[in-house]
Structure 1
Amino acid sequence: MEAALKGLKVLDFSTLLPGPFATMYLADMGADVVHIESPTRPDLIRMMPPYANGQATSHSYLNRNKQSIALDLKLSENVELIKSKISDYDIVLEQFRPGVMQRLGLGYDTLSEINPRLIYCSITGYGQSGPYKDKAGHDINYLALSGISGHSGRIDCGPPALGVQIADVAGGSLHAVIAILAAVYERARSGQGQFIDISMTDCVVSLNNMAASGVLAAGVAAAPEQSYLNGGSFYDYYQTKDARYLSIGSLEPQFTSGLAQLLELPILLEKGASFDADDRKQVKMAIQEKIIQQDLHHWLSLFENTDVCVEPVLHLDEALDSALALQRDWTVDVPLDTNSAQTERQLACPIKFSRSQNRYLHVGQKIGEGKW
């Protein structure tokens, strides 16, 4: 089986997480990705611990399947080299602040004159226009400005510090992949490339979806622990006797009924679907008082063969070695290079095709190790 994106050629000028994650997905699905890196200012992701096999594990993962080419873009001969090759490429992805690629002589207007079929995607924090376009930012800032942090977390302790980069990945990386592939499809009809402006903040705002629809159409404010899905109902996490947690999402009537029977809590049937804040609070307290009486193992045994939307909160190492992870191929052993029998365990591409096959050629390369 061949990879789905075989033949698609990508020139990647990005660093850190959003751009590299996007181009890794494209590369996993078969695109040929050349990653242009500075020989004097290494990508910070290369320096972030932990390390394995002589490299930062995040770099080895995010840049797998890509060819690393070291070029100083401030040198005119390197800019001319890129221009001489750009007609062979379908996609350019860059992650500099607005205007940087133009000043280097590698902006969309310049490169599209050479290759009118070029699809050029720019990922930034705040987009190519507007008062924030030149501001620095990180994932936590984008989440704060998007409104997501404002209706997440707990009333008494504020927004949560998340363990993953939501705006970078769900906002930047995945929206970039969607937009790029949509542009490839459109180009098949029009024969023309186009410029794509991905603002991580713009895109992460869309993740508010249901909460935002209530604010915009009904004027219902969004606040922590106020809705069914953000801690305002018994849809929540509950601590066990051994300081672990259960996730309980038994909102639908059949699941609520099953949970009430298993926990022997009739209050779930009486008040589980109530819109009254006091009723909701009583239900949550009753569940927590029950769950805290036993350790996680007890609850796993009780819920093992039930279908009521109750699952344990796993530590990451537990999740990656779970039966579900094994059955669904969450991880893959990637060769250190194309000629190596030694491998590094990494997250697999989660997209599964009936005919196409994802590929894992090698982990991220050393700076300048690739061929072009």
Structure 2
Amino acid sequence: MKGPLASLKIIDFSTLLPGPFASLLLADMGAEVLRVESPTRMDLIRVLPPHDGGVSASHAYLNRNKRSIALDLKRPEALEVVRQLVREYDIVLEQFRPGVMERLGIGYEALKAINPGLIYVAITGYGQTGPYRERAGHDINYLALAGVASYTGRRDTGPLPLGVQLADIAGGSLHGVMGLLAAVIHRQQTGEGQLVDVSMTDCAFSLNGMAGAGYLACGVEPQMEALALNGGSFYDYYRTRDGRWFSVGSLEPQFMQQLCAAIGRPELAARGLSPKAEEQRALKREIAIEFERRDFAELCECFAAVDACVEPMLPFAEALEHPQIKARGLVTDVPRGDAGSQRQMACPIRFSAGLPAPRHIGAALGAHTEEVLQELGYSAEQVATLKADGVIG
């Protein structure tokens, strides 16, 4: 089994999270992904704790199913290897700041001259244009500038530092994959490659969704705890008597009725539709009282057979054991390359034709350098010379 993207061959110059998560999805779906890494400037994900057998668990996951070649891109011999690679690998994914690849001589225009059908995906914080194009940033900065953080949090404590990297993954990774695959379809229809400019800030801005649409069309500025879905209604988290939490999303009347009946307060159901902020706050207090009267286990039993959009908040260890997560096969065993395997999160996309089994965890730095060079036609003597000269690692 090869997977639906088995025809794609991708050179991945990215590091950290956004690009590697994007190429992980592509590799899981069958694409051949070759990571180009510096032999002297390590991807920091490789040393990020915790470690399993001396290998970063994050690196082992984000870079599974990919090969690694170590090239010093400051050396002309290494750049020549890249130029040869793009004759065969006709998709490039990179995550440098704008202008870096151009200064190295392997930017889009230079590589397009070698392979006119090249698809070149550049993931950056702020995009290839604009006054911030060369500015440094991280996930929290992109969410702040894009307006997302301004109404995500509590009035008395401020914006929330999210546990997942929303701009990195939903912005850079997922939009990067969408842009790449859209360019592939365009190339199949026209024969033309193109540059795909993915800005994590742009993508985070688009995630404003309903709140952004409301402001642009009606001038309603979204505020913390002021919208139906950000704490301004009973749609929220509620603490149990023993200090755990439940999520309540019973927005529709039929779900609200079941929620209120389950907690023994059916008279509260009619108040769920009130648009008045003070009435929503009062309703939240009533619901909170009922949840705080019961332990977590009691509430789990209470809502197990009730279709009310009410679910327990689970720590990751418990989420792994949830019957829905297990039934969907979201954990897989990935060969380590030595003896045994490592448990990892599986590809979340399901195909009726299936996907290939995971081949290996993230490879050691430059693990496939000699193999790839030999595929390009380099002799053993040439490889040895490049290694001795520090061009490859």
**How far off is 1:308 after superposition?**
0.4
TM-superposition CA deviations, 1:305-337 (whole Å, max 9, x none): 110000000001111222111100111000012
* Residue identity matched to 1:9: K
**Could you state the TM-score of these two structures normalised by the residue count of structure 1?**
0.98
Partner of residue 123, structure 1:
123
Q: Distance in 2 between matches of 1:280 and 1:56?
A: 46
**How far off is 1:283 after superposition?**
0.3
Q: 1:358 to 1:174 in 2, by over 3 A?
A: farther
Asked whether the equivalents of residues 265 and 286 of structure 1 are also in contact (C-alpha less than 8 Å), the reply is no
Partner of residue 366, structure 2:
368
Partner of residue 183, structure 1:
183
**How far off is 1:221 after superposition?**
1.3
* Residue identity matched to 1:44: L
**Could you state the TM-score of these two structures normalised by the residue count of structure 2?**
0.93
Q: Distance in 2 between matches of 1:47 and 1:5?
A: 30
Q: Distance in 2 between matches of 1:215 and 1:67?
A: 46
Partner of residue 275, structure 2:
275
| Backbone CA RMSD of aligned residues | 1.0
Asked whether the equivalents of residues 119 and 196 of structure 2 are also in contact (C-alpha less than 8 Å), the reply is yes
Asked whether the equivalents of residues 30 and 359 of structure 1 are also in contact (C-alpha less than 8 Å), the reply is no
Q: Distance in 1 between matches of 2:339 and 2:55?
A: 17
Secondary structure (helix, strand or coil) at the match of 2:344 reads strand
Q: Distance in 2 between matches of 1:327 and 1:356?
A: 16
TM-superposition CA deviations, 1:209-242 (whole Å, max 9, x none): 1111100111111011111100111000000011
Q: Distance in 1 between matches of 2:34 and 2:48?
A: 22
Secondary structure (helix, strand or coil) at the match of 1:241 reads coil
**How far off is 1:341 after superposition?**
4.8
Percent pairwise identity = 53
Partner of residue 326, structure 2:
326
Q: 1:134 to 1:267 in 2, by over 3 A?
A: farther
**How far off is 1:263 after superposition?**
1.3
Secondary structure (helix, strand or coil) at the match of 1:141 reads helix
**How far off is 1:267 after superposition?**
4.6
TM-superposition CA deviations, 1:336-369 (whole Å, max 9, x none): 12xx451000010000001141431000011011
Q: Distance in 2 between matches of 1:33 and 1:270?
A: 55
Matches within 5 A, 1:68-87: 68-87=68-87
The reply to whether residue 260 of structure 1 matches residue 260 of structure 2 is yes
**How far off is 1:98 after superposition?**
0.4
Q: Distance in 1 between matches of 2:367 and 2:269?
A: 63
Asked whether the equivalents of residues 29 and 359 of structure 1 are also in contact (C-alpha less than 8 Å), the reply is no
TM-superposition CA deviations, 1:100-128 (whole Å, max 9, x none): 00001110000001001110000000000
TM-superposition CA deviations, 1:116-162 (whole Å, max 9, x none): 11100000000001011111000000010111100111111111111
The size of the alignment, in residue pairs, is 370
Q: Distance in 1 between matches of 2:159 and 2:101?
A: 36
* Residue identity matched to 1:289: I
**How far off is 1:266 after superposition?**
3.9
TM-superposition CA deviations, 1:63-107 (whole Å, max 9, x none): 100111100000001001111221101210000000000001110
**How far off is 1:259 after superposition?**
1.1
Partner of residue 351, structure 2:
353
Q: Distance in 2 between matches of 1:65 and 1:109?
A: 29
* Residue identity matched to 2:204: V
Q: Distance in 1 between matches of 2:90 and 2:294?
A: 57
Q: Distance in 2 between matches of 1:164 and 1:180?
A: 23
Secondary structure (helix, strand or coil) at the match of 2:68 reads strand
Q: Structure 1 residues 281-290 or 353-362, which shifts more?
A: 353-362
TM-superposition CA deviations, 1:35-54 (whole Å, max 9, x none): 00000011000011000022
Asked whether the equivalents of residues 253 and 272 of structure 2 are also in contact (C-alpha less than 8 Å), the reply is no
Partner of residue 136, structure 1:
136
Partner of residue 302, structure 2:
302
Q: Structure 1 residues 138-147 or 322-331, which shifts more?
A: 322-331
* Residue identity matched to 2:233: S
Asked whether the equivalents of residues 2 and 356 of structure 1 are also in contact (C-alpha less than 8 Å), the reply is no
Secondary structure (helix, strand or coil) at the match of 1:228 reads coil
Secondary structure (helix, strand or coil) at the match of 2:198 reads strand
Q: Distance in 2 between matches of 1:211 and 1:204?
A: 13
Q: Distance in 1 between matches of 2:118 and 2:321?
A: 42
* Residue identity matched to 1:236: D
Q: Distance in 2 between matches of 1:85 and 1:250?
A: 54
The reply to whether residue 6 of structure 1 matches residue 19 of structure 2 is no
Asked whether the equivalents of residues 147 and 205 of structure 2 are also in contact (C-alpha less than 8 Å), the reply is yes
Gaps of 5+ in 1: none
TM-superposition CA deviations, 1:268-325 (whole Å, max 9, x none): 2231110111110110000001100111000001001110000000001111222111
Partner of residue 289, structure 1:
289
Asked whether the equivalents of residues 349 and 358 of structure 1 are also in contact (C-alpha less than 8 Å), the reply is no
The reply to whether residue 20 of structure 1 matches residue 16 of structure 2 is no
Partner of residue 312, structure 1:
312
Q: Distance in 1 between matches of 2:339 and 2:178?
A: 34
Gaps of 5+ in 2: 373-393
Asked whether the equivalents of residues 153 and 225 of structure 2 are also in contact (C-alpha less than 8 Å), the reply is yes
Secondary structure (helix, strand or coil) at the match of 2:5 reads coil
* Residue identity matched to 2:360: H
Partner of residue 36, structure 1:
36
